[in-house]
Amino acid sequence: MKDNKNRSRIPGPLQRAVRAVLNQLALGRNVRVGQNFRAGYGSRINSLHGLELGSNVSVGPGSVIEVDGNIGDFVLIARNVQIVGRQDHDISSVGTPIVKGTWVGDRDARMEDRVSIGRDVWIGAGVVVLGGVTIGEGSVIGAGSVVAKDIPPYSIAVGSPALRISGRFNNEADCRKHSEGLDGLSHLGG
């Protein structure tokens, strides 16, 4: 039986060094990460005005995160996920080409630039999350979905645009119990 404690393909003696290099290559400016952060090969994480990632966050290979906001503890982001701004370029100026319009980095931060992802969220492969949305704690976003609106806590959401198709747990009591369990994991760096 395979040991699930070590899922990495990186050989044991090299894991710490390789992981540190991958994390350093992935992280751009204005990004803070908690303990036990893991960046997959080729992932990029950058923010113009500030992004905070909690502890025990894993970002899959080839994923790009280029927004302001926060990502909670125990978040699992699969490969090739895009978390990007929705209003990065001004498209409303008559007579001004988009490429010449105001860019998000040339203006003050706005609430619609931010993304908020709660604790213990799983974002499936190839998902696109647009600026200005909140994905509630404990949610699961199905592969290939486009998240353009808020997703309530403990939801399973799929599609383009992503819509809630069911709850993660059977009842509100189980959701509360799960949240309390997450609270109790603070000793794990998150």
The single-letter DSSP state of residue 94 is T
What pLDDT is stored for residue 107 in this prediction?
72
**Confidence check: pLDDT of 172 > 90:** yes
Does the pTM surpass 0.75? The reply is yes
How sure is the predictor about 157, in pLDDT bands with cuts at 50, 70 and 90? very high
Positive or negative, the CA dihedral 109, 111, 113, 118 is positive
What pLDDT is stored for residue 7 in this prediction?
65
Domain assignment of residue 126, given as a range? 12-188
Give the mean model confidence (pLDDT) for residues 161-179.
95
Specify the range with the lowest mean pLDDT, choosing from 51-60, 61-70, 105-114.
Answer: 105-114
Domain for residue 150, yes or no?
A: yes
Q: How many domains does the chain have?
A: 1
What pLDDT is stored for residue 8 in this prediction?
67
State both tokens at 118: 């709660």
Give the mean model confidence (pLDDT) for residues 164-181.
94
Positive or negative, the CA dihedral 29, 33, 36, 41 is negative
Domain for residue 2, yes or no?
A: no
What pLDDT is stored for residue 169 in this prediction?
94
**DSSP E strands, 26-178:** 31-33, 38-39, 44-46, 51-53, 58-59, 64-66, 68-71, 76-77, 82-84, 114-117, 122-123, 128-130, 134-135, 140-141, 146-147, 155-158, 163-167
User: How do beta strands 140-141 and 155-158 pair?
Assistant: parallel
How sure is the predictor about 15, in pLDDT bands with cuts at 50, 70 and 90? confident
Domain for residue 20, yes or no?
A: yes
CA terminus-to-terminus distance, the chain:
29
Domain for residue 6, yes or no?
A: no
Domain for residue 33, yes or no?
A: yes
Domain for residue 1, yes or no?
A: no
Give per-residue pLDDT as tens, 71-109: 999 999 999 999 998 777 777 778 878 788 766 666 777
What pLDDT is stored for residue 3 in this prediction?
47
Domain for residue 61, yes or no?
A: yes
d(CA 14, CA 168): 37
Domain for residue 68, yes or no?
A: yes
What pLDDT is stored for residue 51 in this prediction?
96
Kindly report the CATH number assigned to the domain that includes residue 35: 2.160.10.10
How sure is the predictor about 6, in pLDDT bands with cuts at 50, 70 and 90? low
